[in-house]
Homo-oligomer: A and B are copies of this chain.
Amino acid sequence: MGAKYRKLAAHLAQVHNLTITYRILSWDQQVNMPPPGSVARADQIATVWRLRHELFASDTTARLLEEALREMRGAPFDSDEASLIRVARREYDAAVKQSSDFVARVAQAKNLATMIWAEARANNDFKAFQPALEELVYLKIEEAQEIGYTAHPYDALLEQVEPGMTTSEVKTIFDGHRPQLTALIAAIGKQANKVRDAPVHQHFEVGKQREFGLSISKAFGFDYNRGRLDISVHPFEIQFSRDDVRLTTRYDEDFLNPAFFGTLHETGHGLHAQGFGTSVEGTYLSDLDAASGALVESQSRMWENVVGRSRGFWNWAYPKLKGTFPAQFAKVDVDAFYRAINTVRPQFIRVEADEVTYNLHIILRFELELELLTGKLKVTDLPAAWNARFEQFFGIVPPTDKDGVLQDIHWSQGAFGYFPSYALGNLLSAQFFNKAVQDFPSIPEDISRGKFDTLLNWATTNLYQHGRKFTVDELVRRVAGKPIQWQPYVAYLEAKFNELY
């Protein structure tokens, strides 16, 4: 490792420290901050984000990148050094196209919009959110113009979440499996009476929900000496370092699923974050939340669904759940419980959607985002457009905007272009799990005995340790020898739900 490279790495570590600082401000805002603190917090965040941008999109970065590149020429593609230079160079090229004033303006607008959204959602009042959302859509269109694109403004935003991936590729994947999902949902609809979800809709004391969630999260391998689980309105995972990973969830006293599967979901992210290699820790590559969204979501969904909603897992876990809630499950056998948590039914809320309908929720958002960014759809017409499309996709209409267009935090955070990653993550969860089982055939049997380290070790070795060295395409080809495909996920769904229904 040469002197020029070390200079670059030190400089980029400063940038990284500001990124993490921004995340700490954001975590605190969502978990601890008294609401009136939001005005000052928006200013603090804008300042940090502006300085981060100025430090990164600087002549210094350009020069250090240039010099390090020359010095490290010939370093293997997957070395830490070549990867750091490659990733930083790609992001520098995009960042340098945006002024620091613009970046600070976006950061501040996002922050305020998120607060406004939270209140608007609570009051089911889209009109209150509309001006903030219009401002963000406007800023995002401007951002796409500044960064530039060839085919579609959405490409410029998607590139930041899934480098190298185009709107057209996403559309092809979505169009490819949408008919299969619709057909599967229709077939299941005819057998809807085979499954009842009443067992998960009972009274469950919050303290015991937390205790049980933590016990499974620990069993999966999440290290609570290097992490925490808190409560927030919108659950999330955030990584301050591989040794400080924070998860949040929220509890519903009358519904087991949100907190429990939410905890497993965030645990999936958390295992990923804690599994970063020590050689990337503290560097520009050690930021899970700036990694490929599809990769990140593949791991939350793998642990939440492919593991956490499997029959094998519950053969092991159900006696423990019964121990925690003996009265509630006295007359429910493991088969009935397994069916209850795998109920397939069109409903309004994305984060509560089952594995079969989930990607349709994403395709809906993706299509609306495309229209918003080209100006084809105005924000003022968004609620009606949401509802019309929802009826077309699911045959039902959200009774309120709270159950519809206001449900997600993402747009208020300016995160246009992120939703596709959830659907791609679902697809990848099957691809990666299949490969893990191909490499270690004992995995399904291990899971049904409460032994999760075979899978975790596979994932750490093949995925987590790399930090964000690779794009999702680079990684899935490296691990599975193929690009992202929808076929394995549909096959997984068909096998699972044809048996269930």
Q: With the chains together, A13 CA to B108 CA distance in Å? A: 15
Q: With the chains together, A36 CA to B282 CA distance in Å? A: 13
Residue-by-residue, is A26-65 near B (CB-CB < 8 Å gives 1, otherwise 0)?
0110001111110111011011101100010000000000
Chain B's nearest CB lies how many Å from the CB of A130?
A: 26
Q: Given A40-B282, A226-B34, A226-B36, is A48 in contact with B244 using a C-beta cutoff of 8 Å? A: no
What chain B residues lie within 8 Å of A228 (beta carbons)? 32, 34
Interface residue range, chain A: 35 or more
What chain B residues lie within 8 Å of A41 (beta carbons)? 240-241, 244
Residue A24 CB within 8 A of the other chain: yes
Segment from A14-22, A252-260, A405-413, A421-429 that makes contact with B: A14-22
Residue A227 CB within 8 A of the other chain: yes
Q: With the chains together, A17 CA to B50 CA distance in Å? A: 11
Residue A353 CB within 8 A of the other chain: no
Contact A241 B21 (CB under 8 A): no
Contact B20 A44 (CB under 8 A): yes
Q: Given A36-B226, A228-B34, A244-B33, is A21 in contact with B48 using a C-beta cutoff of 8 Å? A: yes
Residue A79 CB within 8 A of the other chain: no
Residue A142 CB within 8 A of the other chain: no
What chain B residues lie within 8 Å of A28 (beta carbons)? 24, 27-28
**Can you list 26 A-B contacts with CB-CB less than 8 angstroms, sorted by A residue number?**
A14-B51, A17-B43, A18-B51, A20-B44, A21-B25, A21-B44, A27-B28, A34-B224, A34-B226, A34-B228, A35-B225, A36-B225, A36-B244, A37-B226, A37-B240, A37-B243, A37-B244, A39-B243, A40-B240, A40-B241, A40-B243, A40-B244, A41-B240, A41-B241, A41-B244, A43-B282
Which 10 pairs of residues, A with B, have the shortest CB-CB distance? A37-B244, A40-B241, A17-B47, A36-B243, A17-B44, A14-B47, A36-B226, A37-B243, A34-B226, A21-B44
